[in-house]
């Protein structure tokens, strides 16, 4: 059974930083990609950043230059470093893990950026 546990969300002022963490557990699967998505109230869930097994990253235009996705294989953890946060970054952030068969999701962590 694959599990994803997120942490690191919270309340921050505009211009501040947060680092989200997502630790995975389980065995018997190969990771195709991991990523972070977010969903703001009344909006659809959107991709924020992704990192595939080859190490290639992909970012939403709205976060390029401010957010960085990285992975520590030894800790089975993927991170999202968020700098220069804006009120429009406020959302529930979800970690995702894509295998070649299934997609898995974390429970979400709230990020609130005050102006």
Q: Which helix (H) or strand (E) holds 18?
A: strand 18-25
Distance set, CA 26 to CA 4, 23, 31, 53, 114 (Å): 9, 10, 11, 17, 36
Distance of CA 106 to the CA centre of its chain: 9
| Backbone phi and psi for residue 15, each to the nearest 5 degrees, phi listed first | 95, -10
Euclidean distance between CA atoms 110 and 75, whole angstroms: 23
**Which pLDDT tens digits describe the chain residue by residue (115 residues)?**
889 999 999 999 999 999 999 999 887 778 899 999 999 999 999 999 999 999 999 999 999 999 999 999 899 999 999 999 999 999 999 999 999 889 999 999 999 999 9
């Amino acid at each position: 059974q694959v599990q994803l546990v997120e942490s690191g969300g919270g309340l921050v002022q505009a211009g501040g930083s947060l680092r989200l963490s997502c630790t995975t557990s389980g065995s018997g699967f190969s990771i195709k990609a991991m990523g972070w998505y977010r969903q703001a109230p009344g909006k659809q869930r959107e991709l924020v950043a992704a990192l595939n097994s080859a190490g290639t990253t992909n970012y939403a235009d709205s976060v390029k230059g401010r957010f960085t996705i990285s992975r520590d294989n030894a800790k089975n953890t993927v991170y999202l470093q968020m700098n220069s946060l804006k009120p429009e970054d406020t959302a529930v952030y979800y970690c995702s893990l894509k295998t070649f068969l299934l997609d898995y999701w974390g429970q979400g962590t709230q990020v609130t950026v005050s102006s």
